[in-house]
Amino acid sequence: MSHTACMARLLASAVHDMRNILAVIRESAGLAQDITRFGDGSAASRKELEISLDEVRRQVVLAAQLAEGLEFMAQNGPPRGSLSQSGATGDKSNSCDLARVCRLFCRMAARQARAAQIRLECAENTEPVWMESRPMPVLHCLLDVLDSCVSVGGKVDLHLAATQQEGATGIAVRVSGGDNEALALSALTACLRPIQGMTCARLLSTGPGTFFLVLPTGEEG
């Protein structure tokens, strides 16, 4: 799979989710409008209105997250362009924040994960985890890991966390729970996948159900 194919899959997933979000917002906003127009002012009506507006707010937050992911993909996709991260100090023009990449991946790939009944989660990093690499090879690696879990039937919990281990910058991967946990672990244990521009990218087993995705520095090919 090329970086372009990886980008296309993530964009398709994000667009599908955005359409669902807009549909929920339209429905919830319509219900709130009906309650405002025809409600009797009772406590039950006010509660129903509050629930509808809360759902609208929740969906707006999800839409904002997807919009961030779409903007990120547009800026950092296969075509070479600016890699600078807004708000970063120092020269980060050849780096990406792995914590942000992980977070956006989990949002962009959410539909694909749901389709395979995979619970895809990302750790909340309090600080950036910088690495000298373009974002697309990292996204490619993460999609490769997700595909490995999908290939055995999904139905697992997949947790990602940008971190450093023994001086190496990468992503901690944990698989747990679900009907196919053993199969997913087996698929990932033997995973050694050269990635375009990052030919040494590989998964190392670090304990029961845990792996470390080593992401050597490198440019996208």
Residue 20 covered by a domain: yes
- Which are the contacts of 76, defined by CB distance < 8 A and separation ≥ 6? 83, 96, 134, 135, 136
Residues 129, 197, single domain; the answer is yes
Q: Alpha-carbon distance 53 to 73, whole Å?
A: 30
Domain termination site, one of 23, 45, 76: 76
What is the per-residue pLDDT across 131-142, written as a single tens digit (0 to 9) for each?
A: 888 888 889 889
Residues 150, 44, single domain; the answer is no
Residue 77 predicted with pLDDT over 70: no
| φ, ψ of residue 161 in degrees (nearest 5) | -150, 120
Q: Alpha-carbon distance 157 to 191, whole Å?
A: 18
Q: How far is CA 88 from CA 51, 98, 190, in A?
A: 38, 13, 37
Is 0.95 surpassed by the pTM of this model? no
Amino acid letter, residue 111? R
Do the beta carbons of residue 92 and residue 99 sit within 8 Å? Answer: no
Residues 57, 147, single domain; the answer is no
Residues 130, 65, single domain; the answer is no
* Consecutive H or E run containing 211: strand 210-214
Residues 201, 154, single domain; the answer is yes
Residue 204 predicted with pLDDT over 80: yes
Q: Alpha-carbon distance 96 to 92, whole Å?
A: 7
Do the beta carbons of residue 181 and residue 175 sit within 8 Å? Answer: yes
Structural domain boundaries, residue 104: 96-214
Per the prediction, the chain carries an average pLDDT of 83
Residues 135, 191, single domain; the answer is yes
Residues 127, 46, single domain; the answer is no
- Mean pLDDT over residues 183-192, rounded? 80
pLDDT of residue 93: 56
